[in-house]
Homo-oligomer: A and B are copies of this chain.
Amino acid sequence: MYANYIGFATVGRIQVKPISTSIEDGFALPSIAEFEKAITPKTKAILICNPNNPTGYLYSKEELLVLREICLKHDLFLFVDEVYREFLYGGKSFFSSLNLEGMEQHVVVFDSISKRFSACGARIGALVTRNKEVLASALKFGQARLSPNSLGQIAGESLFDLSDEYYRGIVAEYQKRRDVLIAGLNKIPGVKCPNPGGAFYAVAELPINDSDHFCQWMLEKFSYQNATVMMAPASGFYATTGAGKNQVRIAYVLNADDLQAALEILAEGLKVYAAGSN
């Protein structure tokens, strides 16, 4: 999961329990049974990020219907981080959890201008729900901190005036990047990477056994044609100790040419690393 969820939860003294997904099935939604193992009388909500950071997995309508079933059965909120919802590839369409029938009082969607408009520095987002009680409580916390910054609010408002052209442009660009990256990764011996349906991240399995060590080694000890590649060890995105040690998260936020070069550097790095000169 996006690691900062745990930080925010800690502020409110909330315990986050992971439901593990697996690279073997492309990080798809686990079964109802896996959720029910974790649910206790103290459970208040299920949180997902759709499309997902770090895996890029796009949850289908069918999977969201499974979550609806669990939430209604156990009377849980469904919190959905939808900040990447325009970043969809291969002609896929997005089904927002706000459209889940019968879940009007359960669904709370988090949104932000950070990703859609590459405006992370503006620190402007939104909480969207039809639940008036949740909204009233959220508003009180919003009033306590008075408001987000005024320049970010003004910029954020104007960004929504951008035409469809803008969105088509970013999706086409990121789809090209995804295609280059995923095809290239799966061509490297020992590397496996599911094809993400959205966002701009991918989690790849590498022929290594300690991604923290490998990522640091790539940054500090390795270079190929005077360059190297920075990746995030996937272990930081797993709440389960020891998980993800042979996986990395790659953010495809470079243009296709740079990604092509990065793939060559990674392939070369894996060769040298395997040869044991680390």
Interface residues in chain A, defined as those with a beta carbon under 8 Å from any beta carbon in chain B: 4, 6-8, 10-13, 120-123, 140-141, 143-152
Contacts and interface: CB of A to CB of B under 8 A. Distances in A.
Contacts of A7: 140-141, 143-145
A8 B142 CA distance: 10
B146 A149 contact: no
- Copies of this protein in the assembly total 2
10 contacts: A7-B141, A7-B144, A10-B144, A11-B11, A11-B12, A122-B150, A122-B151, A123-B147, A148-B149, A149-B152
Contacts of A141: 7, 10-11
Nearest to A123: B149
Contacts of A10: 141, 144
Contacts of A120: 146
A121 B144 contact: no
Contact of A145 (B4, B143, B146): B4
A153 to B, nearest CB: 9
A6 B152 CA distance: 26
Contacts of A11: 11-12, 141, 144
Nearest to A124: B149
Contact of A151 (B8, B140, B152): B152
A243 B39 CA distance: 45
A13 B145 CA distance: 16
Nearest to A12: B11
A167 B164 CA distance: 49
A169 to B, nearest CB: 24
4 A-B pairs closest in CB distance:
A7-B144, A121-B150, A123-B149, A149-B149
B144 A4 contact: yes
B144 A8 contact: yes
Nearest to A14: B13
Contact of A146 (B4, B6, B148): B4
Contact of A121 (B4, B13, B123, B149): B149
Contacts of A140: 7
A8 B12 CA distance: 10
Contact of A149 (B4, B6, B145, B151): B151
A6 B140 CA distance: 11
A123 B144 CA distance: 13
B151 A121 contact: yes
A13 B10 CA distance: 11
Contacts of A151: 121-122, 149, 151-152
Contacts of A149: 121-123, 148-149, 151-152
